[in-house]
Amino acid sequence: MSTPSNGESSRKLLAVLRDRGPLPMTHLSEYRGVSRSKLGQEVAALGRLGLVVSGGQAPSTGGRPSNIVSLSSDVCYAGIEIGATSIAVGVTDGYLDVLDFVEEDADVHDGPDVVLDRAIELIHELIVRRPVSTLVGVGVGVPGPVSFRDGRLVGAPLQMPGWERYPIRDRLSRELNVPVTVDNDVNAMALGEAHAGAARGTDDFMYVKLGTGVGSAIVANGALFRGADGCAGEISHNRVAGAQSLCSCGRTGCLNSEFGGAALTRQAIVAAQSRESPVLARLLEENGTLTPLDVGVASAAGDAYATQMIRRGGRLVGEVLANLINVLNPSRIVVGGGLLGLGPLLLAEIKSAALQASTPLATTHLSIVQTALGDRAGVIGAAWLASETLIDTLSGATESRVEQSA
């Protein structure tokens, strides 16, 4: 996400290897603009910490043969993504490639003790499968505004009892005995897409999650923009035109109360009971309940009312995005989340409304695309956060080792 410049510390070496994969010593030294002897000291220092290995020769291109530098295969990270209705845990290698992944239903209403206990169990289950691996860091994405510094949710949504200011980071760090980094779930997804997905190589982009609620994350100049209180990109309570429904925040007409998994379920039940949507009425009779994705099923079956619900949702999201496009001028918007399962109409409608309502100059280089990582974006991004924390923690240690041996 950022371009290394001359003279940066050995923390950059770990980041370069993580982001670009194993590299010959000569390439690394040229790429980072440091001498081979300085680089050799950095590699040795990180080698003593068990993080980096050097060995195997790169094919000669005429000059001296060059050792390949890679991250140790023993090192692993874990990423946790806590959603309103699910929990996902992934274990990655040092390059953040996912080695193991599990996802299961969960309920944030059960409170942090229950949900975090389960996250810890899942990490243990995955780590047991990798006996030679050493867990060196854990990242967590949680659904709400986070004080990044404190590792806690602040201003947790009303439907998340017990989570407000709960010491998520300290609790997990104590029980797992590794550094833990906590961020908003959508921020983690954006970081995952930046590292290995649809936003790779893009310095100014937004990630939009269409889940139980709608949220977004902003990356500007290659860095996540969290805002003063950790709630930058929180678009779920943006007002949308012509909306009257009461939101969980106590106001009316928020995006959240008009579109998102929860809103769509409510609207689907009303449409079924009033028989405005014959297909949803039949699905409700058959299943006794409706899910947001039933709206997509009904639309695909030719139900005009269901199709209209999707179109309207896409338009509302697109109009909110247009305001952000005008302010932030991103070059890409990556859209993810379970509601993409409603079918291609939703994304098409979001694109069309967003482009229509933005100023032409702000959309000259804008592409609006679908997630490339799907439900793994959050755990990859959480693992990325864990790797950044490790790099920050170690940079002091490796710097002083390099100084001593110089």
Which C-beta is closer to Zn ion: that of 46 or that of 247? 247
d(CA 355, CA 322): 7
The residue type of 222 is G
Q: Are 22 and 70 in contact (CB under 8 A)?
A: yes
Please, what is the minimum distance in Å from the beta carbon of residue 256 to Zn ion?
A: 5
Q: For Zn ion, which residue of 25, 135, 232, 247 counts as binding (CB under 5 A)?
A: 247
Query: Applying CB under 5 A, does 18 fall inside the site for Zn ion?
Result: no
Residue 322: CB minimum distance to Zn ion, A:
19
CA distances (Å), origin 307, targets 224, 315, 387:
35, 12, 43
H or E element in which residue 219 lies: strand 214-220
Rounded to 5 degrees, what angle do the CA atoms 187, 193, 198 make? 140
- Exposed/middle/buried for 100, CB within 10 Å: 0-12, 13-18, 19+? middle
CB of 162 to Zn ion, least distance (A): 21
Interface stretch with Zn ion, choices 142-150, 217-225, 229-237, 396-404 (CB under 5 A) = 229-237
* Shortest separation between residue 70's beta carbon and Zn ion, angstroms: 48
Q: Is 254 in the site for Zn ion (CB under 5 A)?
A: yes
Q: Shortest distance, CB of residue 250 to Zn ion, whole angstroms?
A: 7
User: Helices then strands (H, E): number in the chain?
Assistant: 13, 15
Among 158, 246, 249, 304, binds Zn ion (CB under 5 A): 249
Of 230 and 330, the one with the shorter C-beta distance to Zn ion is: 230
- Does the protein bind Zn ion through residue 45 (CB under 5 A)? no
- C-alpha span between 106 and 143 (Å, rounded): 13
* 237 contributes a contact to Zn ion by CB under 5 A: yes
Q: Considering only CA atoms, which of 251, 215, 244, 245 is closest in space to residue 324? A: 215
Residue placing its CB nearer to Zn ion in the complex, 191 or 247:
247
Q: Using the rule CB under 5 A, give the single segment among 169-177, 184-192, 226-234, 254-262 that binds Zn ion.
A: 254-262
Size of residue set near Zn ion by CB under 5 A: 4
Positions in the binding site for Zn ion (CB under 5 A) = 237, 247, 249, 254
